[in-house]
Amino acid sequence: MPQLENVIRKYLEAWNDTDAAHRRARIAELFAPDCSYVDPMAAVAGRDGMDALIAGVQQQFPGLRFTLNGNVDAHHDQARFVWHAGPPGASEPAVIGFDVIELEGTRIKRVLGFLDKVPA
């Protein structure tokens, strides 16, 4: 469980990293080369796809910060967790979702994202 929580924290840090070169290095360390990500608004494959997705979200919602909300529920090589995203110091998150990640060894192989609250 601590290993999975560490991966999830690094995953959220990648979403918050606005330095493009640093973010790409995080993604290379964290994700399997053939990773995939899907949520109701996006579907991407590979590390380049992840980087483009994160950069696009950062451009569309500047200043948004992703944080872990609550406990991580994990077993085997998979985990689910709730996250919040919003401006730092905001009383309410702008976006709420939960993700399910699957690991391949120590790297993220697949992310299945669900959005519970999105801006209008």
Q: What does the pLDDT look like over 40-60, one tens digit per residue?
A: 999 999 999 999 999 999 999
Cα distances (Å, whole numbers) of residue 86 to 58, 67, 71, 111:
11, 9, 19, 21
Q: What does the pLDDT look like over 10-26, one tens digit per residue?
A: 999 999 999 999 999 99
pTM metric for this prediction = 0.94
Q: What does the pLDDT look like over 62-90, one tens digit per residue?
A: 999 999 999 999 999 999 999 999 999 99
Which residue segments constitute the domains of the chain, with CATH numbers given? 2-117 (3.10.450.50)
Q: Is 112 exposed, middle or buried (0-12, 13-18, 19+ CB in 10 A)?
A: middle
Between 37 and 120, residue with greater pLDDT: 37
Cα distances (Å, whole numbers) of residue 85 to 2, 16, 57, 67, 69:
23, 10, 11, 6, 10
Provide the residue count of the chain.
120
pLDDT at 1 over 80: no
CB 93 within 8 A of CB 19: no
